[in-house]
Amino acid sequence: MDAVQARTGAEVLLRALKEQGVEVIFGYPGGAVLPIYDALYQQNAIRHILVRHEQAAVHAAEGYARSTGRVGVVLVTSGPGATNAVTGLVDALMDSIPVVCLTGQVPTHLIGNDAFQEADTTGITRPATKHNYLVKRAEDLARVVHEAFYVARSGRPGPVVVDLPKDIVIGQAPYTPAPDAEHRSYRPVTEPDPGQIARAIALLKAAKRPVIYSGGGVINAGPDAAVALQEFVRLTGAPCTSTLMGLGAFPASDPLFLGMLGMHGTYEANLAMHGCDVMLNIGARFDDRVTGRLNAFSPNSRKIHADIDPSSINKNVPVEVPIVGDAGRVLAALIAAWRADPARPDTQALAAWWRQIDAWRGIDCLRFSQATAAGSAIKPQYAVQRLYQMTRALGRDTYISTEVGQHQMWAAQHFRFEQPHHWMTSGGLGTMGYGLPAAMGVQIAHPDALVIDIAGEASILMNIQEMGTLAQYRLPVKVFILNNQYMGMVRQWQELLHGGRYAESYSAALPDFVKLAESFHAVGLRAESVDQLDGVIRTMLEADRAVIADIVVDPKENCFPMIPSGAAHNEMILGPEHADRAAGITDEGLMLV
Amino acid sequence: MANPDPSFRSATISVLVDNEAGVLARVIGLFSGRGYNIDSLTVAAVDASRTHSRINVVTSGTEMVIEQIKAQLDRLVPVHRVADLTREGPHLARELALIKVIGTGNARSEALRLADAFRARVVDATTGSFVFELTGNTDKIDAFLELMGPLGLTEVSRTGVAAIARGTSAITLRPDATHGTDKGSS
C-alpha cells in the first residue's frame, strides 16, 4: 500500500487534502509553512489563493464554504499568521461554518522556547474552534487531517485548526487513506427521535396561532433541507420567519414568509413570535438578537426546538419538545408524520391568525420616504432596494455578502433572498471586515456568478487590502458601499441611548473610494444624489472586473424597525416617531450589547 | 451567597475522555469561558493502556445551568460519556486529604484522639507534628479540618473528589464506542 511509500509530511498533507476533495486553499506563506508551499508549487491539483491578511483567508474560506456547502481550507504560518486568523475562526465558530485551518508551527524541539514566530496556537485557538490538533508525530499527520475534515463538517459544523510543526512537514511521514480515519468518539446524532416528532406534530396540528422560525441550521443542512422547509411550511399553512443566518431557506417572495425576525426584524414577524401559541424553531438558537428580553419572549407559546447541537436546546429558552437532529432529516420526519396523522389543523383559527398577521403587515414597517427630485439625498434603504431590483432584472445567479452594521440590516431587510447559500453575513460574531473577503471566496467558488459585497464605509476599511487579491485573480466582485460617513449602527445607538453624544463614531478622513478602487486596478464609481443611483448601479453590474461603488447616502438615516436592547418583541420602535421609546430603556437594558 | 432559585444544586459529574494532550484544558476552559463553577476537579487515566481518562467535576448551578454544562461537555470532540452522578442514582464520592498538625502537650494528644475517632491514619510523626491521612466524603474531611483548627492545623493537601455510582450501573466506553451513533449521557 502507499502507506509504506516514503513521502515528506508536506506531500502527505497535500495528498490528504486531495483525497478530501479540496480544490482551493486560501493562505499566506511564511517561514514555518515554507515546505508546504514548496509542495504546493510542485503540483496542480490544488489552487492556492494568496490573500493579503490571514483574517481575510478565513473569511474567504467561510464565503467559499457557505456558498458551496463544502469545507473551506486555510493555510497560514506560525505566530502572527495564526493569531491573525483567530477572528475568522471565532466568526466561523459562532456561525457554524465548516473550515479547516492549517497553521505552521516552529519545529517540535523548539515548542515552548519562545522561538521566532512561535505562538501557542492550540492554546489560543482552543476556545476559538470546534476542535484543534497539534501534530507531534509524523505517523499521526494523515489521520489528523482526515479527522479534521470529519469534525469540521459533521454535526454542527465549525472551524478546526491543525497545527503543523515544521519538522513534521519536512520529515518523512506515512500516508493513511481517509476511510481509516474516523474520530474515536465524535458521533453527532442526526436522526430525530420519532416520539419527539410525534409530540411536535400533535402540538402543531392543534395550534391556533403557529409560527415556524428557521435559522442557519437549515442552510447548513443543505439545499434539500430548504426544499423540505418550504414543503412543511406549506403543508401546515403556518407563517414562517427566519433569522439573519437563515435567510434564503424560505423564499422571501412567498406570502407565507414574514421576513426576518429579531432586533431589526419586521413588525409582523416579531408580533407573530410574541403572539403565537405554538412555535417551531428549526435550526436556530434563540440568540439574544432574536429573543429580545427573555422573560417577555413569546410568553404564551408552547415551544418545539429542533437543533443538531443538544447544547443549543434549553440554553436560553426552555422548550417543551426538544428534537436533536439534522434540520433536513427533522423536516423530512415532520412532513411524513404530518401526512400520516389523521388529525386536521384548525383552519378557522389559522385563517383568523392570518387576518391578524395581515393587519400587522399593513403597518408596512420597512417603509421609508425617498425624495425623488434631482439632487435629493439617497436613502440607504432605497439604494439596497434599487440594487435588488436591478440585479433581479438581470436574472444572473447573484450572491450577496455584507460587512456589519446598519448596511447589513438594510441588506437583510430590503434585498429579498429566494434561495439558500446566496447570503453571506457575519451573524454571531458581528465581524466588520467580513464581507469583502467572504465575497472573494464566493467568487472563487462561482467564477461566473454576480457577487456583491454590500458594505459600509467604515467596515470596508477593515479588510480593504483584499482589493489586491481581487486584482491579482481578476475577481469581478462588486463592493457597494452605503457611505453615510458614520459607523452608522454605533451612531444610531448613541443617538437613541446615549444622548446624541457621537463619541468616535464619525468616519473622519475617509479615502476617495473612486481613486482607491482605481489604484487597485478596479473600477471606481460614486453616486451622490438619487438621480445618479441607477446609472452607477448599471455601470457596476455591467463591469467585467472589480468595482467599488461609493453610494453617498443620507447620514442621519436610522435602521428601523428596532427592538431596543432589553425590550420585548411588542415594544418595537417602528420609526423616528417612536424613538422616545428608547428613552424608557432600563439600566439593565443599557448593559446589553 | 444564597441562591434564590430553588433548583440551585450541587452536581457531581463524571466525564470519560480520550487521554490526549489538551483535553483537561478544554474542560477547564469550558467552565471558565462560560462562567460555570468548579468546586472540585480530579483527573487520571483509568485504563491499562492509558488511552482514556476520567474527569470528576463537582459543580453547582440551577437545573438549567447544570443541564447546559452536561450538554456543553458532551459536545467536546474528545468526550465519550458524561454522567451526572448526583442525578442518576446513589453514588459514592471520596477524597483523600493529607493534614499537617503542629503542636505539643494537650493539643497534640487531643489531635491524635480525634484522628483515631475519624479513622485518620498517622503517616508521618515528629515530636512536634503529625501528618494525618484521611479518606472520606467532602463533609467528613471538612468536619475533621474544623476540629483540627484550634489544635495546630498548619497545612492541608486534598485530592478533590473521585466518584462512582453504587450498584451495577457503570460509566464505561460503550461496546459500540468506535462505530456507534449515540453519545448520550445516560
Residues in B closer than 8 angstroms to A163, CB to CB, are: none
User: Chain B contact for A69, CB < 8 A?
Assistant: no
CB burial string B9-48: b at 16+ within 10 A, e below? bebbbbbbbbbeebbeebbeebbeeeebeeebbbbeebee
| Spatial distance between the Cα atoms of B10 and B16, rounded to a whole number of angstroms | 20
CB contact under 8 A, B67 and A188: no
Confidence at residue B3, expressed as pLDDT on a 0 to 100 scale: 61
CB contact under 8 A, A189 and B181: yes
Confidence at residue A580, expressed as pLDDT on a 0 to 100 scale: 74
Confidence at residue A176, expressed as pLDDT on a 0 to 100 scale: 86
| Spatial distance between the Cα atoms of A27 and B169, rounded to a whole number of angstroms | 51
Residue from A78, A415, A107 nearest A259 by CA? A415
Model confidence at A1, pLDDT cuts 50, 70, 90, reads very low
Count of beta carbons in the 10 Å neighbourhood of residue B70: 21
pLDDT tens for residues A241-296?
999 999 999 999 999 999 999 999 999 999 999 999 999 999 999 999 999 999 99
pLDDT tens for residues A90-120?
999 999 999 999 999 999 999 999 999 999 9
Using CB atoms and an 8 Å cut-off, which of residues 134-163 of chain B contact chain A?
none
Confidence at residue B175, expressed as pLDDT on a 0 to 100 scale: 56
User: Chain B contact for A318, CB < 8 A?
Assistant: yes
| Beta-sheet strands, E only, within A467-544 | 478-483, 523-527
Sequence letter at residue A380? P
Model confidence at B178, pLDDT cuts 50, 70, 90, reads very low
> Mean pLDDT across the stretch A449-461?
98
Mean model confidence pLDDT for chain A: 95
Q: Is A18 a catalytic residue?
A: no
* B153 bridge partner residues: B101
Q: Is A480 a catalytic residue?
A: no
| Spatial distance between the Cα atoms of A62 and A69, rounded to a whole number of angstroms | 10
The end-to-end CA distance of chain B, in Å, is 32
pLDDT over 70 (residue A411): yes
| Beta-sheet strands, E only, within A111-243 | 131-134, 159-165, 172-173, 210-214, 240-242
pLDDT over 50 (residue A13): yes
A176, burial (CB in 10 Å: exposed 0-12, middle 13-18, buried 19+): buried
3-state secondary structure of A318: coil
B50, burial (CB in 10 Å: exposed 0-12, middle 13-18, buried 19+): exposed
Model confidence at A583, pLDDT cuts 50, 70, 90, reads low
Q: Which of A279, A432, A487, A489 is catalytic?
A: A489
Task: Please tell me the pTM assigned to this model.
Answer: 0.94
> Mean pLDDT across the stretch A555-559?
96
CB A422 within 8 A of CB A448: no
> Mean pLDDT across the stretch B139-167?
97
Q: Which of A20, A26, A54, A118 is catalytic?
A: A54
> Mean pLDDT across the stretch B68-76?
96
Nearest to B22 among A122, A184, A313 (CB): A122
CB contact under 8 A, A123 and B21: no
> Mean pLDDT across the stretch B7-12?
94
* A164 bridge partner residues: A104
CB A199 within 8 A of CB A303: no
User: Chain B contact for A180, CB < 8 A?
Assistant: no
The chain B residue lying nearest A148, using CA atoms, is B77
User: Chain B contact for A237, CB < 8 A?
Assistant: no
pLDDT over 90 (residue B186): no
Nearest to A311 among B22, B71, B77 (CB): B71
Confidence at residue B7, expressed as pLDDT on a 0 to 100 scale: 87
Confidence at residue A181, expressed as pLDDT on a 0 to 100 scale: 57
User: Chain B contact for A112, CB < 8 A?
Assistant: no
Confidence at residue B185, expressed as pLDDT on a 0 to 100 scale: 34
pLDDT over 90 (residue B181): no
Residue A123 has which C-alpha cell?
A: 492554546
Count of beta carbons in the 10 Å neighbourhood of residue A354: 17
pLDDT over 50 (residue A126): yes
The chain A residue lying nearest B16, using CA atoms, is A185
| Spatial distance between the Cα atoms of A438 and A451, rounded to a whole number of angstroms | 10
Q: Is A379 a catalytic residue?
A: no
**Low-confidence winner among A131-140, A170-179, A240-249, A277-286 (lowest mean pLDDT):** A170-179
> Mean pLDDT across the stretch A134-158?
96
The chain A residue lying nearest B73, using CA atoms, is A311
pLDDT over 70 (residue B177): no
Confidence at residue A182, expressed as pLDDT on a 0 to 100 scale: 64
DSSP chain B: ---S-TT-EEEEEEEEEE--TTHHHHHHHHHHHTT---SEEEEEE-STT--EEEEEEEEEE-HHHHHHHHHHHHTSTTEEEEEEHHHHS-EEEEEEEEEEEE--HHHHHHHHHHHHHTTPEEEEEETTEEEEEEEE-HHHHHHHHHHHGGGTEEEEEE---EEEESTT------TTTTT-S-----
User: Chain A contact for B68, CB < 8 A?
Assistant: yes
Q: Is A286 a catalytic residue?
A: no
Confidence at residue A576, expressed as pLDDT on a 0 to 100 scale: 83
Confidence at residue A6, expressed as pLDDT on a 0 to 100 scale: 63
Nearest to B177 among A156, A185, A315 (CB): A185
Confidence at residue A186, expressed as pLDDT on a 0 to 100 scale: 85
CB contacts < 8 A (A, B) = 60
> Mean pLDDT across the stretch A53-63?
98
Residues in A closer than 8 angstroms to B69, CB to CB, are: none
Q: Is A55 a catalytic residue?
A: no
Confidence at residue A117, expressed as pLDDT on a 0 to 100 scale: 98
Task: At A561, give phi and psi (nearest 5°).
Answer: -65, 165
CA A427 to chain CA centroid, nearest Å: 5
> Mean pLDDT across the stretch A340-366?
96
Confidence at residue B184, expressed as pLDDT on a 0 to 100 scale: 36
Confidence at residue B179, expressed as pLDDT on a 0 to 100 scale: 35
Could you give the domains of chain B? 8-89 (3.30.70.260), 92-162 (3.30.70.1150)
User: Chain B contact for A123, CB < 8 A?
Assistant: yes
Residues in A closer than 8 angstroms to B80, CB to CB, are: 184-185
User: Chain B contact for A134, CB < 8 A?
Assistant: yes
| Spatial distance between the Cα atoms of B53 and B23, rounded to a whole number of angstroms | 9
pLDDT over 60 (residue A180): no
Confidence at residue A385, expressed as pLDDT on a 0 to 100 scale: 98
Q: Calculate how close chain A gets to B40, using CA atoms only, in Å.
A: 22
Q: Is the peptide bond before B150 cis (omega within 30 degrees of 0)?
A: no
Mean model confidence pLDDT for chain B: 91
Sequence letter at residue A51? V
